Amino acid sequence: MKQTLTMTFSFLLLMNSIASTTYRTFKDSSGRAIQARLVQFDAESEVVTIERKDRKTAQLPLSKFSVNDRAYIRNFDISTESQDNISTTKELEPLTKGQVKDLAEQLEESIEDKDFESFSSLYLSAIKRPGNWDQMKRVDIGDIEDHVFHMQISADTGSNGAIGWVHLTPSGKIKYCPLTSQHPVELVAGAISTFDWLDRERLDAYKPQLNQAIRDLERSKVPTFGFKKNMPFNELKENNKKLKAWFKENCETYDVGTPKLPIPEKRLKSIKSNIKF
């Protein structure tokens, strides 16, 4: 059976023709590539049907495909990438918990295998290799809520890991992740907590923390309310009141870029519980 499947994939490779815009490159577990389009995926039997440009089809087990392609195939029903019969303006259905779990496992596998190509392919936008990429050694996936899941990464001794929430778009791509960038609402909440924590005695000693909180506000593209380096203590506290009022009014829906990803209700409740309004 294994020999037959290998021959089938090799035959498709040899018969490959020039791809059109409705076709994509698939790779098998050995890295060999073919141009085809995904026709059907039977989740129960994990059998994949693909079609070459000459319209000939073949059925292959999901396990024959690369890590990246398996993630794409599992989320075929929510993807607009290769479904030329579906309008790209159609609103996508929310991810199911099973789909989020599958994507979390793909992320975990790519990190632990040090496969940056697969890792970066899971993201909505191009990303840079994290500075501590080579030191990452273990990934633990925690709670799943709507389109987000919690992730903790352990690193070798002497290197920092990462912990936080991963936010997925309806098409199954990562928009925010503790390894790359946090959700703007999370950044603003962190800045508010820093401004609350700073008192007169701490203000001079913890200037780096103050400046980082101000940079986080700028990255979040929210009103900065006059926050700046070396600002007087009374002005800092007064501006933080204004920031809290803005946060309270906008935190349920705020995001930058597209698609917009509001913070899930349970996660937002936890964030707000740490802020003294």
| 194 and 235 part of one domain | yes
Nearest in space to 150 (alpha carbons), one of 166, 162, 169: 166
What is the DSSP secondary-structure string of 137-161?
EEEEEEEEETTEEEEEEEE-TTS--
| 170 and 195 part of one domain | no
Q: What is the pTM of this model?
A: 0.68
Instruction: Calculate the average pLDDT of the chain.
Output: 82
Question: Residue 263: which pLDDT band, with cuts at 50, 70 and 90?
Answer: very high
| 105 and 153 part of one domain | yes
pLDDT tens-digit series, residues 57-67: 788 888 888 87
| 224 and 269 part of one domain | yes
Total tally of structural domains belonging to the chain: 3
Supply the DSSP symbol for 65. B
Contact 99/41 with Cβ under 8 angstroms?
no
| 193 and 260 part of one domain | yes
| 42 and 16 part of one domain | yes
| 140 and 219 part of one domain | no
Please report whether residue 194 resides in a domain. yes
pLDDT tens-digit series, residues 164-202: 999 999 888 999 999 889 999 999 999 999 999 999 989
Domain boundary among 156, 176, 196: 176
Domain boundary among 129, 147, 176: 176
| 52 and 119 part of one domain | no
| 189 and 167 part of one domain | no
Say how many C-beta atoms besides its own lie within 10 A of residue 18's C-beta.
7
Query: Which residues have C-beta within 8 Å of that of residue 98, sequence separation ≥ 6?
Result: none
* Range of weakest confidence among 88-92, 207-211, 227-231, 257-261: 88-92
Find the helix or strand (DSSP H, E) in which 202 lies: helix 200-205
Please report whether residue 86 resides in a domain. no
Full domain range(s) for residue 242: 184-273
Q: Widest CA span of the chain, in angstroms? A: 75
Please report whether residue 88 resides in a domain. no
Domain boundary among 19, 44, 66: 66
| 244 and 204 part of one domain | yes
Question: b/e for 177-210, b at 16 or more Cβ within 10 A?
Answer: bbbbbbbbbbbbbbbbebbeebeeeebeebeebb
CATH number of the domain to which 151 belongs: 3.10.450.50
Whole-number pLDDT of residue 217: 92
| 56 and 22 part of one domain | yes
CA dihedral of 29, 75, 177, 131, whole degrees rounded to 10: 20
Beta bridge partners of 163: 152
Residue with tokens 């607009």, as numbered in its chain: 80
| 56 and 101 part of one domain | no
